[in-house]
Amino acid sequence: MAILNALAAQRKSNLSDLLLGINNRLELKEGNSKNEKSIEICALVDCDGSPSEVANVVSELVEEGFSTVKLKVARRRTPIEDAMIIQKIRETVGYSINICVDANRRWSYAEAMQFSFAVKEYNLQYVEEPIKAEENIIKFCEESGLPVALDETLDAIKGDFVNHLQKYAHPGIAAIVIKPSRVGDFENTALIAKLAFLHNKMAIVSSAYESSLSLSMYVQFSYFLHIQYENVCKTRNKCFHDGFAHGLGTYKWIKEDIIDQGLINNVLKVGGKMRASVKDAQNIIERFSWGSKRLLSRFCKNEEAGCYSVKIDEGGLSSCFRVKEAGLHTNKNTVIFLHGFLGTSEDWAPIMKSLSNDARTISVDIPGHGKSQVHAKQECTISVKTISELLLKLINEISTEEQRVVLVGYSMGARIALHMALNSDKIKGAVIISGSPGLKQESNRKIHQAIDKSRAKLLISHGLHNFVETWYSTKLWSRYHSSWRFLKINLIWISVILS
């Protein structure tokens, strides 16, 4: 969509005109509402409630201007209950509107036939995906006499749509419902639609609950298909009729759209039908382009990490911690991230953002790293134990008394997290990445301590730059030179602990 929209913008055009081409574009007179470039929209209705309640909902939609409604069926105890809904709707609004039903392949063959016998007199435009077994669709068409529409059947097609759809050329298949995002792209959608038109079937563009941004592109693409259908009719000397509505009524179901003035404000009653204007759809896209930063930031604000400082005194140490936080402060789940040697709280920023909708996420510059400083008031040793005690006091400072937290630690941070988890009831779980309780054999521990002391002397005597070059040239890091991507696999363990 982005590429097509960019091409259209470059030519100071819109999607439908871009696809039709300047020579084939239908020239319309300005100011004539009948010739306004637009497509009809079908309303989507859930069948929850009694027959009277559903019929009243449909009646309100008809008063609003909708001449086609689609109802979700096969969600009640028996198909007869669904048929009673259709009966009540016809009694309430009459036969001036089109009614389509969508079973989403939930019925057995026997149940679908039971429904078909009960609704024969109610003039359904089509029954969408009535049965589970794809191989019985044609049989259902012939025995029920009801027009059928395909939808989920398209999802199983991989590659060659032309040959696969040939077996559905049966006249009982009245419509092909196409979700562009499911079939792959607009090219596949256009191919399937053309096959439908050539076999005298409706090609209906349908939404998979996309935002008004996508729906606005679908409006323009549906208009392109409308012109294609008109051309097919002219070529075959057949009567052109504009009697089908596209399944874009899901805009009414969106609680919060990414565009303030989305499609809900641009579907209007024209000529007794609810229609969406191509021009208005293009305006929606242009408005989104102009204000995308503002619009996107509205949805990312809860993920933006804030920074603050907290001073902690514990024993003979005083530390000023730099703390980074994302997610809602009131969230009952709190995850605290501890970085490794030479790292900072920034190392965790992408992972914090990805979890911030489900937890309060906090990362800390461990004392001596980043912007956290530590000072000894008196002679004392800075160790895993003393740093752990400082961090525990910090956690108590920034969380409620009864709140328990999950620690996520990497390398040096993993060792600190492990020590904290073993020594405090405040910690309800810990994710330990590249850390361990230590070496079992005394001889191995002595060797490791000697190596650590040697590295410490190197750091003190030759400075950080030389130490870092030596450190990252070791075999330990040869696998991970491509970055911290390997840490992302541990997100699943965090989710497990939170649940």
Can you tell me the distance from the alpha carbon of 299 to that of 316, in angstroms, rounded to the nearest whole number?
A: 45
Q: How confident is the model at residue 354 (pLDDT cuts 50, 70, 90)?
A: confident
Average pLDDT of the chain is 83
Residue 486 has pLDDT above 70, yes or no: no
Residue 304 DSSP one-character state: P
% of residues, the chain, pLDDT over 70: 87
Picking from 354, 379, 349, the residue whose alpha carbon sits closest to that of residue 365 is 349
pLDDT exceeds 80 at position 304: no
Q: From CA 348, how far away is CA 363, in angstroms rounded?
A: 7
Return d(Cα 262, Cα 16) in angstroms, integer. Answer: 19
Contact criterion met (CB below 8 Å) for 232 and 190: no
Residue 32 clears pLDDT 50, i.e. is over it? no
Which among 29, 34, 37, 70 is annotated as catalytic? Answer: 70
Tens-digit pLDDT profile for residues 163-214 = 788 888 899 999 999 998 888 888 888 888 888 888 888 999 999 888 888 8
Q: What is the mean pLDDT of residues 127-141?
A: 91
Is the distance from CB of 222 to CB of 178 less than 8 angstroms? no
- Give the residue-averaged pLDDT of 10-20: 82
**pLDDT score at 487:** 45
Name which of 32-36, 117-121, 166-170 the model is least confident about. 32-36
Say yes or no to pLDDT of 288 above 60: yes
Residue 290 pLDDT greater than 70, yes or no: no
What the block records as the tokens of 368 is 């001596």
| Predicted local distance difference test score (pLDDT) of residue 240 | 66
Give the percent of the chain with pLDDT over 90: 35
Per-position DSSP letters for 17-59, written without gaps between them: HHHH-TTTPPP--TT-GGGS-EEEB-EEE---S-HHHHHHHHH
Mean pLDDT of 467-488: 62
pLDDT computed for residue 408 by the predictor: 96
Residues 6+ apart with CB under 8 A from 110: none
| Most confident of the following: 232-241, 323-332, 366-375 | 366-375
For 61, the enclosing helix (H) or strand (E) is helix 51-64
Residue 29 banded pLDDT, cuts 50, 70, 90: very low
Name the pLDDT band for 464 (thresholds 50, 70, 90). confident
What's the pLDDT band for 103 if we cut at 50, 70, 90? Answer: very high
pLDDT digits (tens, 9 = 90+) for 419-456: 999 999 999 999 999 888 888 888 988 998 898 888 88
Q: CATH number of the domain at 304-498, please?
A: 3.40.50.1820
DSSP H or E stretch at residue 463: helix 442-471
Return the minimum-mean-pLDDT range out of 113-127, 301-315, 323-337: 301-315
**pLDDT for res 156:** 73
Q: How do strand 173-178 and strand 148-150 relate by DSSP bridges?
A: parallel
- pLDDT at residue 491 above 60? no
Local structure of residue 267 (DSSP, 8 states): E
| pLDDT bucket at 479, cuts 50 / 70 / 90 | low
- CATH 3.40.50.1820, the chain: domain bounds: 304-498
How far is CA 182 from each of CA 55, 154, 268, 293, rounded to the nearest angstrom?
A: 31, 9, 28, 28
User: Is it the case that residue 293 has pLDDT exceeding 80?
Assistant: no
Phi, psi values for residue 17, rounded to 5°:
-65, -35
**Per-residue model confidence (pLDDT) at position 330:** 66
**Residues 402, 405, 408, CA angle at the centre, nearest 5°?**
170
Measure Cα distances from 495 to 303, 309, 355, 485 in Å: 17, 28, 9, 18
Q: Give me the catalytic one of 29, 88, 139, 179.
A: 179
Where do the H-state alpha helices sit in 65-99?
79-93
Gap between the Cα atoms of 482 and 376, Å rounded: 38
- Lowest-pLDDT range, 153-167, 288-302, 313-327, 463-477? 288-302
Q: Which tokens is 453 given?
A: 């002391």
Q: How far apart are CA 120 and CA 122, in angstroms?
A: 6
Q: Are strands 405-410 and 334-338 parallel, antiparallel or unpaired?
A: parallel
**At the fourth CATH level, which superfamily is domain 2-296?**
Enolase-like C-terminal domain (3.20.20.120)
Q: What is the pLDDT of residue 168?
A: 85
Which among 66, 18, 70, 68 has a CA at the least distance from the CA of 190?
A: 18
DSSP 16: H
Burial grade of 20 (CB within 10 A; 0-12, 13-18, 19 or more): middle
pLDDT score at 106:
93
Q: What is the mean pLDDT of residues 248-266?
A: 80
70 included as an active-site residue:
yes
Within a 10 A sphere around the Cβ of 164, how many other Cβ atoms?
15
The per-residue pLDDT for range 42-88, each reduced to its tens digit, is 999 987 789 999 999 999 999 999 999 999 999 899 999 999 999 99
Alpha helices in 325-400 (DSSP H): 349-355, 384-398
The residues of the chain that CATH labels 3.20.20.120 are 2-296
The model's pTM is 0.58
Give strand pairing partners of 247. 206
Q: How far is CA 151 from CA 92, 126, 265, in A?
A: 29, 12, 28
Q: How confident is the model at residue 242 (pLDDT cuts 50, 70, 90)?
A: low
Among 92-106, 226-240, 288-302, the least confident range: 288-302
